């Protein structure tokens, strides 16, 4: 019964190894584009359709809130989330303009549009890339199946060597999480002045300390492999606090 599931993991691992072998230079380039944008204080814009839309807003959230460590916020916007805007643009202008219209309104020189498209041929994503180029923003594409027409419009394309939509999306997320972790490590930890203003941020810096309020709790554990003691810390956050009921993260 589980053979198919285990085989899916093997397939994913094979595609990941093939991607690592083929895409190292492109992944380095993608990381550098994001690093340059963040260092300049410019904005990351994300877009995609379907599952790639979910990935777009997932990644934007990681930059605005945090991924693995508390640090300053990074300007990032998912163009996939405003239902009023999306439906108005689709109704009045056509679905191919739902992202381009937002890029026209928001993107500025030095910004970066990050496009998720497993086909590389979705008309609304192609229009968004064209709008970004007109605005003086750069375009970074994450795609598969050869990259499609989007490859010619992007400054850089990271093209997963697969024909499968799901494998491409899984590896897009893996690569972009790794890039986000790199960016966070370069931003450094938040200041203690900021930490004092936020219980959730303070918990990142003061591991042994415990904070208690109502409703929502979470526990983080980390242990070293060399037989050193396991550290355990708990943090209970009020839903009305600045960070609210944030997700559990494993802190190593």
Q: How far is CA 246 from CA 41, 62, 221, in A?
A: 25, 12, 16
Neighbours of 244 (CB within 10 A): 12
Q: What is the rounded average pLDDT for all residues in the chain?
A: 82
Q: Is 136 helix (H, G, I), strand (E, B) or coil?
A: coil
Work out the angle at residue 110's Cα, subtended by the Cα atoms of residues 121 and 132, and round it to the nearest 5 degrees.
25
All structural domains of the chain with their residue ranges: 3-187, 192-237
State the Cα–Cα distance between residues 182 and 206, nearest whole angstrom: 23
| DSSP states along 109-127 | TT-EEEEEESSS--HHHHH
Residue 200 has what pLDDT? 56
Q: Are 118 and 143 spatial neighbours (Cβ–Cβ below 8 Å)?
A: yes
Neighbours of 168 (CB within 10 A): 26
Residue 196 has what pLDDT? 56
Greatest Cα-to-Cα distance within the chain, rounded to the nearest angstrom: 63
Query: What CATH superfamily is the domain 3-187?
Result: Glucose-6-phosphate isomerase like protein; domain 1 (3.40.50.10490)
Over residues 187-245, the pLDDT tens digits come to: 985 544 455 555 555 555 443 333 323 333 332 233 333 344 433 333 333 333 333 33
State the Cα–Cα distance between residues 168 and 51, nearest whole angstrom: 11
Over residues 107-146, the pLDDT tens digits come to: 999 999 999 999 999 999 999 999 999 999 999 999 999 9
State the Cα–Cα distance between residues 119 and 140, nearest whole angstrom: 15
Residue 234 has what pLDDT? 32
Of 2-6, 20-24, 88-92, 175-179, minimum mean pLDDT range: 2-6
State the Cα–Cα distance between residues 43 and 77, nearest whole angstrom: 7
User: Comparing 249 with 27, which gets the higher pLDDT?
Assistant: 27
Going by pLDDT thresholds of 50, 70 and 90, the confidence category of residue 2 is confident
Residue 202 has what pLDDT? 52
Question: What backbone torsions phi and psi does residue 31 show, to the nearest 5 degrees?
Answer: -60, -40
Over residues 15-45, the pLDDT tens digits come to: 999 999 999 999 999 999 999 999 999 999 9
């Amino acid at each position: 019964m589980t053979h198919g599931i285990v085989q899916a993991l093997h397939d994913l691992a094979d595609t990941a190894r093939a991607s690592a072998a083929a895409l190292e230079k492109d992944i380095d380039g993608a990381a550098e584009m994001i690093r340059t944008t963040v260092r300049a204080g410019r904005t990351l814009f994300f877009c995609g359709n379907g599952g790639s839309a979910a990935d777009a807003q997932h990644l934007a959230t990681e930059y605005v809130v945090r991924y693995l460590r508390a640090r300053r916020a990074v300007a990032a916007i998912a163009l996939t989330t405003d239902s009023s805007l999306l439906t108005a643009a689709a109704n009045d202008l056509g679905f191919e303009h739902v992202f381009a219209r937002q890029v026209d309104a928001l993107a500025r020189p030095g910004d970066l549009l990050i496009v998720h498209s497993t086909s590389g041929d979705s008309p609304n994503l192609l229009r968004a890339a064209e709008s970004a180029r007109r605005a003086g923003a750069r375009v970074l594409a994450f795609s598969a199946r050869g990259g499609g027409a989007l490859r010619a419009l992007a400054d850089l394309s990271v093209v997963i060597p697969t024909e499968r939509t799901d494998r491409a999306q899984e590896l897009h997320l893996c690569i972009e999480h790794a890039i986000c972790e790199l960016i966070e490590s370069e931003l450094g930890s938040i200041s203690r002045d900021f930490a004092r203003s936020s219980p959730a941020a303070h918990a990142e810096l003061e591991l042994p300390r415990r904070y208690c309020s109502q409703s929502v709790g979470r526990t983080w554990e980390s242990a070293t492999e060399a037989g050193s003691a396991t550290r355990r810390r708990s943090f209970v956050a009020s839903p009305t606090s600045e960070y609210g009921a944030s997700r559990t993260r494993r802190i190593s």
